[in-house]
Each structure stands twice: as C-alpha cells, then as structure tokens.
Chains A and B, each alone.
Chain A
Amino acid sequence: MATNTRLRGRAYLVYIGLGLGAVVAGLPFVWMLMASFMTRGETLRRVFTPESVQWANYLQAWHEADFGLYFENSLIVAAVQVVGTLFFSLLSAYPLARMEFRGRDAVFACILATLMIPETVTMVPNFLTITWLHRTTPFAWLNSWPALTIPFMASAFSIFLLRQFMRGVPNELWEAARIDGAGHVRFLFQIMLPLCRAPLLTVAMFTFIGSWNSLAWPLLVTNTPTWRPISVGLQQFVSEAGAEVHLQMAGAVIATFPVLLTYFLIQKEFTEGISMSGLKG
C-alpha cells in the first residue's frame, strides 16, 4: 500500500515536471501565435491576447514578403535534400554496419570526427567548392538548387544514426538472404530498407528541419529571390529602423506550419527511430 502511494506520488512529481517543461517549451509558441493576430500597437504594448483577431496580418505577410515563392522554394529544396541525404546516408551506413573491410572503423571514426566541426568553419571551403564547380561544370550551381542541397547530402549524423540501427539487425536475416542467393544490394533494398523505416523517417525529419530553417548558407549562395527559402522571407520584416513583430510572427507561423505538420505525421516513427538508434538519453 505504502509502495503504491510512493509510486503514485513519484508519478505525480514526474507529471508536474513534464507539465512545467511543456509550458516552458510551449509558451514561446503560444506567444508567437497570439502576436501574429495582434495589431502593431498591441505588440508594442506587450499585451498577451489580441483585442480582436487580425487575420489580415497573414495575408499581408504572405503578399508583402513574397511568401508564396519562398514557400515553394523551401519545399523543393527540402524535398531534394531529404531524398539525397537518405540515398547517400543509406549507401554509406550499410557497408559501415554490415560489411567487413580493411579500415572500416577508421573511415567511420573520420566520418564521426566531422560532427565536431562547426558549420561556420566548413562554410568557406564549401563556398569555394561550389564557386569552382559553378565555373568548371556546365551546371549553374550558384543561385540555383544544387548549391542549396548537394553540399548537405553527405550528413555524418545521418550516416551514424542509420549505421547504429543497421548494426542491430540480426545476422540471421543476412544469412537467410544469402541462402536465397541475395547479394548486398538486394539485401539492402529488399530486406534492410523496410526494416529501417523508423530511422529513415527520423533522418528525413532532421534533414527537413535543417533545410527549412537554414538562412546563412542560402544567403551566401543566392543573390536573387528565385531560389531563396522562407527564412529569407522572414527577414523582410526586420529593417535597420525596427521590426514589425506582428507581421514577423504571422510569417513565422506560416513558416513553422509544414515542420509541425511533418512532425505530427511521423511522430511515432520519429520517437522510435531515436530510441532504436541508441540516441535516447
């Protein structure tokens, strides 16, 4: 009886802690949502709820910052990057997890080491590579989707995540496949791939969020709005003189919507992918 009461008490404490965490995490989002419906005066006076809902903020944000174009660009760039990252990460993770060859661990250690390098450090070499490719290949790299996507398709984190999952797949499956005459390619695409659904969706989610939120790199490799993402559109509401918070927040809600939607759609697999890859902590 006493144990039950203690357990229940502990559960309450856990729920209170989680509830507080949820409030802390959710409050900025609620404020963003509220501010997106306010007049400029209300954002200046820092009220928490709008007197009347200003739906027009959304229309104004959409039209004035050319959000339609930026939104489309972000979707295309994110989709290309997700597909590319999944493809290359899968092909890289598989041999590191399932094949024996000399130097495998050293290669894996090198890939992991790149996780320690901050993005700002790789920005200059990446840009130099892109400008060199732009000059020497027949494709337009700068001001186009290749510069926005291809440099990020080699993701050490995604390779690590998939490799960790693939190592946990029982060897008996491979042996059975071998008996049936399958090679590595068939085993990877027909057996391993369906098993990797959760970590693949996790990789896809992380890549999508990364691509959707990126700002510094797109500004560096694009000079016109043709391929610029939605994060650049959000910058339009900040000038040297000041910020139009109500429009900025309306734009932020629009920009956040696809990320939230994607997360809710794959929430279960995302959590599974994280826990099965040994990343939970």
Chain B
Amino acid sequence: MRVLLFFNAAILSILCSCGGQETSVSEKKVDLEILDPGGQEVIFWYQHTRERETALEELVAEYNQTNPHQTVVKGEYAGGYGDIYNKMVVGIQGGALPSLVVAYQNQAMAYHRDDGIVDFTPYMNSPKWGLSEEEKKDFVQSFLEQDYIGGAQIGFPPNRSLEVFYYNKDWLRELGYEAPPRTWDEFADLCRKAKEQPFSRSEDKGRSLGFLIEADASRLASLVFTRGGDLVDAKSSAYTLDTEPVRAAMSMLQSLLQDGAIELMSEDYGDQREFAAGQVLFILRSSSGLPFVTSAVEDGLDFTWNVTYPPNELEEPVVNVYGASISLCKTNPSEQLAAWLFLKWFTEPEQQARWVKASNYFPVRRSTEQELRTYFEQNPRYKAAYELLDYGKSEPSMSGYQQVRRLIQEAMVDIVEGSDVDQALANLQQAANQTIGDH
C-alpha cells in the first residue's frame, strides 16, 4: 500500500506542479541579407473556418509547391480571436509559439510588449527579401500605418474590412424614402417610423424595429467617428469617451431605445438574422459579413437591400475600418525570414485577388483592383463597400484597448437601460484612462 501511495503522491505532485522553462530565443542581431530561409517549417495560426479556411489551405498548398526555398507552411485553425490571444499569452510564457499569428493591433501590442513578436520593418526594408519602393507604395498606406505602433511594424495586413450600414430598400420605399438616411436625425426618424409601420412582408408584424445594435466598441466608434469625434486623443495618449460626440451617440441610442424603436442585440448575429427576417430596417456590421447576409436574405424574405456608409454629421462620410493583421512571432531568424517570405507572397496582387474572392475581405494592395474587375461586376454590394475605403478611420491601437472595449460594452448597456449619460461617460472615461497606467 505504501508503494501505491508513494506512486500516487508522486504522480499527483507532477500533475499539480506548476512552472516551466521559457525557451531561449536568440537575441543576436542577424544579418538578414546572408540568412538562408531554406527548408523551414512555418506554422500559421488563424481563425478562419469552412470556405475561408479551404481557400487559405489551397493558397498555402500552392506556396508549398512553388516556393524556391522549400519552405513548408502549415496553417492551423487556432480558435476564435479570443482563443488565439489566450494561446499566444500562455505560448509566450511557455515558449510554444507559431511562426505567424493573426492578431488585432491591441493584441499585437500586448505580444510585442511581452517580447513574443518582432518588428516587420527590417524584413520590409531588406534589399534582398523586402518590398521594392513600388510595392510599398502599392499598399493602402493607412492599413500599414494601423500596425505601425511605437516605432515598430508589429503587424502586416493581409486584408481589411469596413463597418458598413445595411438597409432594407423595399421597407424604406414603403416608408416613403428612396435613399438611406444621411444624417443621424434622419436615421432616428426612420427608426421610429419603422417601429410604427412594420415591413409588409415580415412574418412577425409584432416585432418591428429600426435598428438592432450590438453593445460593442466598434459600433460605438462608428457612431462617434461620423460625428467628428474619436475614442482617443490625437496623440493616442488618453481616451476621449466623455466628449460631445460620444454623448450625442449614447443619448440618441438611449432615446430610441426608450421609444422602442431600437433594441440591444441579445444573441450573437441576431441583427443579421432579424434583418433577413424583415424585422429590422438597419444594421451596422462588418463588410466581411456581406455573403452571409446575402444568403440569409435569399433564404429569408428575399427583399431588396444594399450597403452604404453610416449616417454622418460631416461633409464627407467616415467609415470604421478594421481587421486583424498578421504578426511575426519571435522564433529563430531563418524561420522568421521564411515566414515573412510567405506573407510577402500572400499579399501579392494575384494571391490577394484569390483570397478576396473567397473571403470577401478587402485587399490591402491597390493593384489588386485590376484583378477584381469581374468580381466587382458580379458583386455590386462588395464594390459599393470597397469604394468607401478612402473614407476609412481606425479604432485605437493602445495595448489596453481590449480591456477598454469591455468597459465601453458595459457602459453602452448601462446607458441604453436608462443610466444617466453624463455620469456613465464620466465613469467610463476615468476607468478607460486608468487602463493606460496599468499597461
């Protein structure tokens, strides 16, 4: 029995033991020009599933067959963005990192702070392996700039999306309008009208809403950007959540909710579902959801709908542009170079065009447009959204933004449920700026 107990205690102590050793990663400066990327295995963690994953796998397979360095890229589904973030956080501590990882800017900042990823700049500027001046100019500069934080290129954009305004054209006509609302006041009026006059083809006339909004920082950002505001100051040194544009956006939501003209979204993708069911007149969503909404409406009531920029109070439209980039993990110099070369290939116009067609994301290089002419003709809604790219504005890329997004979400719920807007925003501002110190 003692032997068994000892054996049991030993095993239990192993199971319960904590700790480990971090892998030592080479810190030496390496001359990229003389580095050999040959024969490396590149692990790429992404969040894509189904059609997008299949398309990505096909591109990866082609690269593996054709690249001159015998690099083998292995794409691995690593869960949603949150799962990938968790994997990276523990992976940095445990020394179990991939070569490339999908990351939003604020996530990449956290990885960079913890020394888990490297700066792309030397790779992009390398005479031998980098991008030519012409190629650099071909990238949408604002996309690259989104990932240039604190003097380092901590991410490289493979694609982008926009937050666009979806509207039910047939219902608008029934309400006496031929065009979508261009100001927030007009939007509010239409929401109230939609509440009173349900869509004629809706199967549930008891439920009729102008707008279904998700309590989410990106949705609020759209509402604030279009009023000339921002979530951070010009130097990205402090949050600006207690300002007039934020107050106006929140007050509008609160008032519309009290009138029963809009509702807070209570289920994932509920806005798309109810839009397709003709129960909601407008939704604000990523352009990458276009194919999903298209098929959902076709399977639903098959009405006429379109996308445009959100209502705004400015002379020109403003659309929230976002999208995860790809970060280069700190592994070993040859693997890092091989990973960069794959990414460089992936963002070439020919591959971008194929990726865009499969994913419905926007390309990051201007010259890809040439390859997309037929696709634009076949997908006019995609084209309409693509033409808004020039009006893009991005959300903050501070490392604590993930935490602030949660605070914004909570504040949105509190406000639309009736809390005092001024007090809630003052508290939000204070809590958000507190995170800057924490990070």
Give residues in A with beta carbon < 8 Å to B.
Answer: 39-41, 43-46, 64, 88, 91-92, 95, 114, 123-135, 142, 150-151, 153-154, 183-185, 188, 216, 219-220, 223-224, 232, 235-243
Contacts and interface: CB of A to CB of B under 8 A. Distances in A.
A137 to B, nearest CB: 10
Contact of A131 (B18, B96, B300): B96
Given A45-B277, A91-B5, A243-B268, A220 B87 contact: yes
Contact of B15 (A151, A239, A240): A151
Among A123, A130, A131, residue most surrounded by chain B Cβ atoms (within 10 Å): A131
Given A124-B90, A216-B86, 8 more contacts: A44-B296, A44-B299, A123-B90, A131-B20, A134-B96, A150-B15, A220-B90, A239-B52
Interface string B84-102: 0011011001111010000
Interface residues of B, number: 56
B235 interface: no
Nearest to A152: B15
B12 A40 contact: no
A238 B49 CA distance: 8
B78 A223 contact: yes
Interface in B97-126: 98
Contacts of A131: 20, 94-96
Interface in B5-48: 5, 8, 11-12, 14-21, 23, 43, 45, 47-48
A-B pairs, 7 with minimum CB distance: A128-B20, A125-B18, A41-B299, A132-B20, A131-B94, A242-B292, A241-B292
A205 B340 CA distance: 48
Interface string B268-279: 110011001100
Nearest to A187: B1
A144 to B, nearest CB: 14
Nearest to B1: A184
B260 interface: no
6 contacts: A45-B300, A126-B18, A219-B79, A219-B86, A220-B87, A242-B296
Main secondary structure of the interface of A (DSSP, over half): helix
Interface stretch (B283-291, B345-353, B403-411, B416-424): B283-291
A144 B317 CA distance: 52
B216 interface: no
Contacts of A240: 47, 286, 288-289
B17 A129 contact: yes
Contacts of A41: 299-300
Given A128-B94, A131-B94, A223 B299 contact: no
B4 interface: yes
Interface of B: 1, 4-5, 8, 11-12, 14-21, 23, 43, 45, 47-50, 52, 76, 78-80, 83, 86-87, 89-90, 93-96, 98, 203-204, 268-269, 272-273, 276-277, 286, 288-293, 295-296, 299-300, 360
A253 B204 CA distance: 28
Contacts of B94: 127-128, 130-132
Contacts of A236: 49-50
A130 B96 CA distance: 11
Contact of A185 (B1, B49, B90): B1
A131 B22 CA distance: 9
Contacts of A232: 79
A267 to B, nearest CB: 31
Contact of B272 (A127, A142, A242): A242
B96 A154 contact: no
A64 B14 CA distance: 39
Nearest to A41: B299
Contact of B8 (A39, A88, A237): A88
Contacts of A95: 5
A172 B21 CA distance: 51
B43 to A, nearest CB: 7
A223 B87 CA distance: 10
A127 B300 contact: no
Among B1, B203, B295, residue most surrounded by chain A Cβ atoms (within 10 Å): B1
